[in-house]
Amino acid sequence: MRSVVVAGAAGRMGKRLVDLVNAQAEAEVVGALEYAEHPLLGKDAGEVAGIGCLRVPLVGSLKELDGCGAQVMIDFTAPQATLANLEWAVSRRVAMVIGTTGINAEERSRLVAAAREIPLVFAPNMSVGVNVLFKVVAEVAAILGEDFDVEILEAHHRLKKDAPSGTAVRLGEIVAETLGRNYPADAVFARQGFTGERTQREIGMQTLRAGDIVGEHTVMFGGMGERLEIIHRAHSRDNFAAGAVRAALWLADRSPGLYDMQDVLGLKQKSGQ
């Protein structure tokens, strides 16, 4: 049985994580964390998630999680909160699954350091389909090479705070790595006015924010006389939450290290077959 703590347990993603962890025969929710002033502190995490009483109260401090027997924490919060939770996880030798977006290079270096002490899955997108997209985009970019322009378009709901999305950034990085370019030096995030002709090295990064769009990512390879588009559309947040739960189950018995969803899904081992 895997003992799981959910950070941000009263949020949209957190409630889905509580539900999906609870639905797993081999996992249980043993802790539920929120920020210190959250109005629902003390309420049962299962009742907050709409799945009935779990006898797991929503707590507002990491200290209150001590003694809960956690093996893994799942965190889809915000960078500052994630880093504080990471310190706790390292000190308690609790594995961690991080789906938080907007983490910068300095913050990522702290994840790398923590992964020397605990097993850690960090991925810009926990969706199984998106991680297949990552693999396919690398293969297509390698096949098409320099003869095709690359444009990446992402769309999300109006409440998303970071842009471009972590998934779009990773797609840009994959294209750059495959084609020997430099992300973000070769990324173009906006075009306005008299921009001149598009350069061969450009990786276009375009962002849309509107309504309640869960998440859409399109990678366009544009050649002379033809265009190839690879699209992933998320219809609900459950695919992200389900991937994170899958990662938590996979991670519990791993050695310390920094892993991603490609590791969880075995896509790295299958590369080149």
Count other C-beta atoms under 10 Å from residue 29's C-beta.
Answer: 27
Query: Which residue in the list 43, 63, 135, 160 is annotated as catalytic?
Result: 160
Could you confirm whether 232 is annotated as catalytic?
A: no
Beta strands in the chain (DSSP E): 2-7, 27-33, 58-59, 72-75, 95-98, 119-122, 149-156, 187-188, 203-209, 215-223, 226-234, 257-259
Q: Taking a C-beta distance cutoff of 8 angstroms, is the pair 187, 172 a contact?
A: yes
Parallel, antiparallel or unpaired: strands 149-156 and 215-223: antiparallel
Kindly name the residue from 15, 38, 156, 232 that is annotated as catalytic. 156
By C-alpha distance, which of 20, 26, 5 is closest to 74? Answer: 5
Q: How far is residue 10's CA from residue 222's CA, in Å, rounded to a whole number?
A: 43
60: exposed, middle or buried (C-beta count within 10 Å: 0-12, 13-18, 19+)? middle
156 catalytic residue (yes or no): yes
Residues classed as catalytic: 156, 160
